[in-house]
Structure 1
Amino acid sequence: MAHQQLSLRFAVVSSEEDDREEAIDELIASLPISKSPIRPVHSLSQNFWCPILVLPNVIAFRWHFEAKEKDILLVSNPKSGTTRLKALVFSIVNRSGFDISNTSLLTSSPHDLVPFIELRECVSNLMPELDVPAEQRRLFSTHIPYPYLPESVRRSDRRIIYICRNPLDTVVSSWHFLLEMARSEDQPGWSLEEHFETFCRGEVLFGPFWDHITGYWKECLERPHKVLFLKYEDLKEDTIGQLKKVAEFVGLPFAEEEEEGGVIEEITKMCSLNTLKNLEVNRSGKLSPANTVVEKRSFFRKGEVGDWVDHLTPSMVDHLNSIMQEKMSPFGLQFKTC
């Protein structure tokens, strides 16, 4: 009898999963596809361009994910300081369990420790994998725009830490990163000019860039207890100050003894781009899970503010600045560019 009940339950679950996957496939098939030369191929879903490769997971996450009280979601546009933010927040949240001499960052990529929701394999198992006790603080990340988040996140006070970067450096960094992806797949690359034009049209990973940023910025203005809005340039300039802000926001402020003991400085040093870049775990291998072929080293290039000076022409700079002026200045958003 128990075996029959188990078989029946499995059949029901399998049927539900098949129906869900069929519904997702039908939805994706109905969406417009970008004609840009930039790869991977993107579909336009709810006014955002999402790589078809990960769209099933994005939709499944949006439809079925139930947020828990202590969840922390790290969000960014691609190539906006995501990797370093993951390392910093992971270290803050887990600092009572180990010190810098035995941190998991020495043996695991920040992207494995704080995985991208949209890169997880097996759509049908996505939600059960995240099913842990309510009292446990869960860390995960995404590039998903705010309007596309699950209702359980949007309509609750679950903590979101958002990081963005000035658009001039972002367009250059994203070009280098996508070229690395193309090379790893033996695909042809494209020029910076082609990438720039695509970026300015908004047809890039989870773009348009400006809508992605303003979506989280407006939520931060309305609910600052829910969304902590960081800028990569500020994190670079004052890492310790930003670390304290993050720790306060997630409810784990640094104690006076920790500050006097140099804990913040240790985390800052461990999570610097130079340290992370030179760790063996980040110098070889591919990002897991297996539905991406991105080399881990591709996540560590320069991380400098003002790198755009060596790549963009004056006319490119003027054009992108004019777009940002139109799209972001009404919301009071400005960026340091050098």
Structure 2
Amino acid sequence: MQTTRSYRSKFLSPTAMYSSSSMKPSSPSQANQDADDAKTYKELYQRCTDLVSSWPSRQGLSYLQLFRHEKGWYNGVTPLVGTMVADELFAARPSDIVVPTLPKSGTTWIKALLYATVHRREHPADAAGDHPFNSLGPHECVKFLEYHLYRADEAPDLDALPDPRLFATHAPFDLLPRAVVAAAPPSGCKVVYVCRDPKDTLVSLLQFVNEYKSRNGRELVAVDAAVGFFCDGVSPFGPYWEHVLGYWRAHRERPERVLFLRYEEMKRDPAGHVRRLAEFAGVPFTSPEEDGGAVDAIVRLCSFDNMVGLEATKGGRTQLTTTTVPNSAFFRRGEVGDWANHLSPEMAQRIDAITEAKFAGFGLAPSLIEL
């Protein structure tokens, strides 16, 4: 899994490269070391912020200003800077699992399923009253690198987290932290990617964006404008098709490192996909667990009907960049093919034509529904 990022030459000079090792100053006292660490981090963060702020920006299919990166438009200064800082500083363990998705592609659901599967022994899914999901949303249990962890205030201390550590990102494959995509241990880790039919992804994203804009008294994005933005790639985290193909290629090259899942298949067989997640994470279900209904318990726990009834969903909020979002906003029923209730046949045909052209020759079904 190789990647190139020419932006590094734009914001890091050979004498100013920061890494996790270079952030360990030789100060004799712990207080001085902590102060030096903080200063180094803030300098790196500010340098990236200054660079991103100088790039072209515009409105698009987002509730934030989009900034033009060489890989496409990116969602706001803070997430892009967080992505760049994570690229420099994140030290992966082989046991780590990173969950990349485009927004509204099943992100909340895959986070819940993975967390519940990996932590099922200390937090049994059928022990409803004691499960962390009663007090924490999936985005708090599996945090985004760019939104939650690598922020302006301080560098995260991730060393104390127990294995396997779970992280999320919306970054395209080429912008994953270099430690994630390193060729072999001790660097590198596992990746679980979920893609969703582009038309359903667009509709779900539009509803999320407009719900945010409505809460804040801002002008909504019309459906025809949203289709135009989406087809032109002026949407969060780069064009849909390039995002999917980046992870598809990585999966084809290293299937033991990159698991590629389709939302539509997950909806058809959630129990089968829970088993796949467990196998991929290195914690397969035992015969006693299977006999005891552990898989079905996880499916029920993470189901839409159950999650929307939890207090963490009904009343909780999640910090995203400089704002907080009600946890309830992350939950839609997510029916396959719901796009037909929102897009005209002409809009759908436009998206389908791009999908067929972009995916041709890659062994990836043009329609992510008709498999």
Q: Is the TM value for this pair above 0.5?
A: yes
Q: In structure 2, which of residues 138, 153, 171 is the aligned counterpart of residue 110 of structure 1?
A: 138
Give the 3 Å change call, closer, same or farther, for CA 18–297 of structure 1 in structure 2. Answer: closer
Residue 33 (str. 1) matches residue 61 (str. 2): no
Q: Are the equivalent residues in 2 in contact too, given 1:180–1:294 (CA < 8 A)?
A: no
Identical-residue share of aligned pairs (%): 32
Alpha-carbon separation, structure 1, partners of 2:35 and 2:240: 43
SS in 2 for 1:188: coil
Q: Are the equivalent residues in 1 in contact too, given 2:264–2:336 (CA < 8 A)?
A: yes
- 2:117 maps to what in 1? 92
Q: Which runs of 4+ in 1 moved over 6 A?
A: none
Q: Are the equivalent residues in 2 in contact too, given 1:119–1:291 (CA < 8 A)?
A: no
Alpha-carbon separation, structure 1, partners of 2:319 and 2:70: 28
- 1:43 maps to what in 2? 67
Alpha-carbon separation, structure 1, partners of 2:350 and 2:46: 42
Query: Structure 1 residue 137: deviation in Å?
Result: 1.1
Give the 3 Å change call, closer, same or farther, for CA 13–124 of structure 1 in structure 2. Answer: farther
**Unmatched tracts of structure 2, length 5 or more:** 1-26
SS in 2 for 1:140: strand
Give the 3 Å change call, closer, same or farther, for CA 40–46 of structure 1 in structure 2. Answer: same
Residue 226 (str. 1) matches residue 257 (str. 2): yes
Give the 3 Å change call, closer, same or farther, for CA 86–313 of structure 1 in structure 2. Answer: same
Query: Structure 1 residue 120: deviation in Å?
Result: 1.3
Q: How many residues end up aligned between the 2 structures?
A: 335
- 2:230 maps to what in 1? 199
Q: Deviations along 1:274-331, whole A, 9 cap, x unmatched? A: 1112222101232136733322111112210010111111110110000001111321
Residue 140 (str. 1) matches residue 171 (str. 2): no
SS in 2 for 1:332: coil
Alpha-carbon separation, structure 2, partners of 1:329 and 1:237: 25
SS in 2 for 1:40: coil
Alpha-carbon separation, structure 1, partners of 2:35 and 2:133: 41
Q: Are the equivalent residues in 1 in contact too, given 2:101–2:193 (CA < 8 A)?
A: yes
- TM-score normalized with structure 1 length: 0.93
Query: Structure 1 residue 64: deviation in Å?
Result: 1.2
Alpha-carbon separation, structure 2, partners of 1:142 and 1:224: 19
Residue 119 (str. 1) matches residue 144 (str. 2): no
Worse-matched range after superposition: 293-302 or 29-38: 29-38
- 2:11 maps to what in 1? none
Worse-matched range after superposition: 303-312 or 94-103: 94-103
Larger helix proportion, structure 1 or 2?
A: 1
- TM-score normalized with structure 2 length: 0.85
Q: In structure 2, which of residues 307, 310, 314 is the aligned counterpart of residue 279 of structure 1?
A: 310
Query: Structure 1 residue 38: deviation in Å?
Result: 4.2
